[in-house]
Chains A and B, each alone.
Chain A
Amino acid sequence: MHELLLFGQVPQSRHGQVLKILAGVAAMQPRRVLERHLLYKPQRQPEEPGSHLRRGGTQAVAMKNRPQAAVKDLYFSQLIQRLSQDDFNPEVQYHGLGLHATGESSADAKWTFQFHETPDTGDRGVLVRLANSTDILAGDPHSYMVNVGNQFVSEYYLEGHRFVHDNIVILLHRVLHEPGARSLENSPKMALPNFDALKPFDPSGAYVLEAKIRVHDLNNPSVLDAGIEELKRFKSQMKGCVELEVPERLLLDTRVKYKPNLVAQTVSRPVPGSR
């Protein structure tokens, strides 16, 4: 599945006004969205880009013609927990549930695994990226993530409002986090903090307006064009209220960065058959 995206910025002072304008545009009341995002990083270190190390193999002639496997990028991924304001209430919070996913159908799944690829190159007027999300209905999502070879990096919260305007999902949101250094923690918090203790990641409290259309398949140009067209129409409709634009694609890069010193160790490791 792919996402077509446009982003805009809304200063905190205009948040209420933009909320009302969007309610008029989408002809619906805003839906409150409160999410907790857990960020994971693969435990394996990325390989040096463009390296052509020979890894093992035989000297058989057949092997020579096989194309060298390209170095694969590693990506960060996220777990999303849908929350409501009540969940932050310490009295109601978690009856020993911890990080357990519950839900009978994907509509009321609390946990979602989300993967975003780095946005596509190519200028279509909107940002296009591959996105994949899987609703988790049961089990412990965190331990699943750890067991498939990820390590917990950090967590943050997202609060905002969602509108749906035809096929466009409009999310007016901002990122909250718990102030203070959290780099040492290696597992997500079992209990949610008090909501008031969360501070906006952007100290000015500005909001981000995200307009998104999901497209099942990029192979069908007419569907893609229709989606882009709809998104651009929304952009021009919002002109003068919020300027929607395409951000620099590398700002949304989800690849794990390659660090040379770490790779030096992997290279020095004896590789069988390399002599």
Chain B
Amino acid sequence: MSASGSFTNVALRPWPAPAREKLTPVEIHAQIAQLTTERGHLRYITEDSLQNEIDTGTDPSKAASAKEGVVQVEQNAAPTRQERLVEIQRTGQAMFSRLEWSSFYTTNMIDLVSLILSKDPSKRVEGSFSARFKEQNVPHGSFGLDKGAPTEESQKGALTRDSNTLEKKKRKLVAMGSRMEALDKGIDNILQAATELETEVRKETKYWGEILSVSQKGWSLQKLRRDARHSPFAVHYGFQEASDHFKARRLAPLRMDKDGSIILDPALALKPKTLRVRVTANGKILGTSTLPPQGELSDLGIEKSIQLARDSLFEEELYHEMSMERRQLGSFGVQLRDSCIHLPVPDLGGGQTNRIVLIDCVARDDKFLDADDRSEDWLAQKIAEALRILLAHEHHMRLHRRSQVPPPLTQNRRVHPSPPLLRTMLTFFHHTSAVNSLQNYLDLTVAAMTSAGLNTSSHVVRENSWAHLIEALKKPQDKDLSVADQILRSLSKPFDGTATLTLPSSNETRPELITINTRTYMGAPIFGSEYKVIVPPSLGVVLDLPQDQKREFRFTSATELEHYLDWILSLDLTHSLLPLEYGERAVVIDIIPPRVSIWTKGRKKRAKKDVVIEFARGALKLSVANPQVHGEAMTENEIIWDGRKDATSFKKTVKGFMG
């Protein structure tokens, strides 16, 4: 089993060749190289094929070397060994220098290609530059390469001489023509660009000039957020505190037109509107408020049209607010008919004729043809101005209210009541009318009393807060409000007027006063004007009022008040003044009509005379009757004082009757 041991180490390899035939790898390589040079390939070279070649004598290497061999033999014969060495040396040198050159050119070529490639930053060429080239510090990418048309010289060979010249001429002409054309076009373009630039510059200059002048007039400009090319700016002309609908209209873009001037935005080009207030009585128009009409919109400057737009916006808001407010005032007869607010107001002077104020919103340019009578123009004008001031005040108040610390959030939303514009006007009219009619009445009364030699005087304060306005303004309740706003704020409160009349029976040192408070409020609980008469204690006694009762009487109309005042004045004369004069002799008989009986002074024949005093509408009527003559009162004498100066006094007259 010894063989099994050798089997374990078996190695499969070619049968070892004999030592003399053995080829080292170097020799094999050399042989392969030889085969390659001789035959160009190693294919089909087998032992048989080689043997076959030898047999047939078709050895390619031998066939080639046979010719060379002849030459070599001839040359080898000629030179000596010395010459041969020199030649070899020279040849070696030549070979060396060629190699040098070729390597030089190659490096140059590589450098050039690398330099060209260095234009492209993505190529890494740093390593491929030669050291010499790097020394020169040629900047990268400094060499360009372009594919050009083949020069004419290169084509020269391809074309024949004759056809070449003709073609050349043609080409030259075409080239020249197209070049001229291109130049022409270029010049045109440049000129066009120049004119465009010029117009653009002019446009910009004009636009900016107008923008500047708009800005200098005090309008606030705003840059539009989106980059609109022709309207970089917008002008604010509305009111900050306007109601929402009008707040949205407060901005107008300033666009540029072809010439560079500002195009009127549609918002600015709207026909400006204005508030028209007309005062009518019995269907006839007595007065109209006007604003000076403006010319054509297009003739006006941009600033003017902005201003007009703002005015119009204000007037429209005013009208809008009033028509909203009107809804709450239906109970006062305020109506809206054909977009015209009808506001019935009493006569300011306290007269009987009621006026109707018509308020509408019309185009500003309209001519008001219906204004025949201009007697009440002032009133219409003042109403319009007052309404505008009230709205401006409302704007201030909105800011003021907004600036206050808000109440905590609750479920109930905060309501923004519409501003009291019409209400304030109504209140004012009613109050003024009420106070003025009272004043008229008191004036008449005092005149009549004075003419009768009775001592009375009256004092009327139309509105209490106006009387103490200066004092109130000196210590304002709210420091944030301007004086004007404080004054205007007092208008939105109920109006209170106070009038006093001294009683004719009271003495001068301690006058007793009838106080008449006039209070006007267009809402619960008064709904208009109301008079409150407070009578002095002495009259309370005359009227037989209980001590603990308030001596107050309320009246809602001037007529009622006048009747009552007439009555208590006559009552005061008969029941206070005459008993004061005649003491025990005067006996109160009746209070409606006020009647007192006075015993005459005569010692023997004491007669009783009835004195009846009736005071009505500024006329004091004294009737003295003798009731004993007949069953019923017979008028004996009647004297009337109605303000004329030359009458004898009341007391003297009565005395005269009494004898």
Interface residues of chain A, those whose CB is within 8 Å of chain B, are 1, 27-28, 31, 108, 162, 164, 166-167, 169, 213-217, 220, 222-223, 226-227
Contacts and interface: CB of A to CB of B under 8 A. Distances in A.
A166 B405 CA distance: 9
Interface string B408-432: 1111000000000000000000000
Given A27-B240, A28-B399, A217 B404 contact: no
Given A27-B240, A28-B399, A167 B405 contact: no
24 contacts: A1-B408, A27-B240, A28-B402, A164-B402, A164-B403, A164-B406, A166-B406, A169-B405, A169-B406, A214-B406, A214-B407, A214-B409, A215-B408, A216-B408, A216-B409, A216-B410, A220-B410, A220-B411, A222-B411, A223-B409, A223-B410, A223-B411, A226-B409, A227-B409
Given A28-B402, A108-B477, A167-B409, 12 more contacts: A28-B403, A162-B405, A164-B402, A164-B403, A164-B406, A169-B405, A214-B409, A216-B409, A216-B410, A222-B411, A223-B409, A226-B409
A166 B404 CA distance: 10
Contacts of B477: 108
Closest 5 CB pairs of A and B: A214-B408, A216-B408, A216-B410, A215-B409, A167-B406
Nearest to B399: A28
Nearest to A108: B477
Interface of B: 240, 399, 402-411, 477
Contacts of B403: 28, 31, 164
Nearest to B240: A27
Contact of A164 (B240, B405, B408, B411): B405
B249 to A, nearest CB: 17
Given A27-B240, A223-B409, A164 B399 contact: no
Most A CB contacts (10 A, CB to CB) among B403, B406, B409, B477 go to B409
A61 B405 CA distance: 54
Nearest to B480: A31
A214 B407 CA distance: 7
Nearest to A162: B405
B399 to A, nearest CB: 6
Contacts of B406: 164, 166-167, 169, 214
A270 B399 CA distance: 64
Nearest to A164: B403
A261 B134 CA distance: 85
A223 B412 CA distance: 9
B423 to A, nearest CB: 25
Nearest to A28: B403
Contacts of B411: 220, 222-223
Contacts of B405: 162, 164, 169
B223 to A, nearest CB: 14
A1 B409 CA distance: 9
Contacts of B408: 1, 214-216
A65 to B, nearest CB: 39
